[in-house]
Amino acid sequence: MDGTAEIISATLGLSSELLLRTVPIVVIGVLLAEVLIALRITDRIAKVAYPVTTFSHLPRECGASFLTAFISPQAADAMLVDYYHKGTIGKRELVVAALINSFPSVVMHWRYLIPVYVPLLGIFGMIYFVILMGIGFLKTGIVMVAGRMLLPGVPASGPLEKPPGRDLSLREALSAAIGPAARTLRRILGVMIPTLVVVAFLIEAGVFDAVAAYLEGASRLFPIPPEGLAIIAAKFGSYVAAAGLASGLLAAGEMSGRDIVITLLVANLLTSITTYLRWLGSFYVAIFGPRRGTEIMVLSVVLQDGLLLIAIFLLAWIW
């Protein structure tokens, strides 16, 4: 009974933390989308992302969401949901745009990878980073091509005509955005809040730890030396611990630079699955809804980890 009470107490604490971390960002994202629409500046912002949206056959509004993803992926995805509920984009456009929005978060890996992996592992840390970035670019390219093939082309347009009516001030735009944003947020938060509570319960119940332990055992199926298993185990705890252990094994001559890079990629592959289930999955499902969120998450995992798997065995073969 005490164990159950502890799990419930921990669940309440973790779910509160997740909600405090996520809900404000989603609110900002939805409100931002409505303000941009009210100010009629979506077209001007989307010009920066014009090559991405045009090639992918996405409406220009998705360009603003794509740029927002460099700052906050959750806010960017909330903007997409807002556009979807307003009928600006359809289901296919929503899925393609959401997958493309995952690219900025891959690019922003440099903020924590380079300061840790490059000083500790030198050129091999940089190789690891470049491979991950290359996979991110390739994944985005595949999604863009898929969008071009699956989505109807957006009609070409000449110079943008100024829509009728006077321009709103920022205060007026905020006032006009509150009503539509509130309606969208009621739909999103109605799914998000119970979803995050369930995810918090599964985390505290040890479900994801059991999955991690199983995946750690699966590392023996990959072309890495026995010493690499310790790096993978460390990666499930902390990427810093994995980098530190890899640096020690490299300096001691226990593992070659080639084996270090491949082992880190395997560690990234295995830990990414639990990461998606534990955190990204909860965000996808919470923001996009159970069915659409699961679909987007599965597609993202298959693309990202499929390319990573190919890279692992290709490196092991040619290097």
Does the pLDDT value for residue 279 go beyond 70? no
Nearest-angstrom CA–CA distance, 243 and 220 = 20
90 Cβ contact list (under 8 Å, min separation 6): 84
| Mean pLDDT score of the chain | 79
pLDDT, tens digit (0-9, with 9 covering 90-100), for 177-186: 787 778 777 7
Q: For the residues 190-194, what does the mean pLDDT come to?
A: 73
Instruction: Bin 58: left if φ > 0, else alpha if -120 < ψ < 50, else beta.
Output: beta
8 Å CB contact between 311 and 127: no
User: Is 78:287 a contact under the CB 8 Å cutoff?
Assistant: yes
Say which residue the tokens 């082309």 belong to: 153
**pTM attached to this predicted model:** 0.74
pLDDT at residue 27 is higher than 70: yes
Domain assignment present for 1? no
Evaluate whether residue 294 is within a structural domain: yes
User: Is 43 part of any domain?
Assistant: yes
* 101-112: average pLDDT: 73
How many domains, the chain?
A: 1
CB 80 within 8 A of CB 36: no
Residue 160 has pLDDT above 60, yes or no: no
Please indicate, yes or no, if residue 40 is contained in any of the structural domains: yes
pLDDT band at 163 (very low <50, low <70, confident <90, very high): very low
Residue 237 within any structural domain of the chain: yes
| Top-ranked range on mean pLDDT: pick from 97-111, 188-202, 289-303 | 289-303
The phi and psi torsions of 206 (rounded to 5 degrees) equal 85, 10
Work out the average pLDDT over 238-244. Answer: 78
Range of the structural domain that residue 236 is part of: 7-158+166-318
Handedness of CA 275, 276, 277, 283 (dihedral sign): positive
Predicted local confidence at residue 159, as pLDDT: 40
Q: Which two tokens stand for residue 36?
A: 């941009």
In contact, 72 and 90? CB cutoff 8 Å: no
pLDDT above 70 coverage of the chain, percent: 80
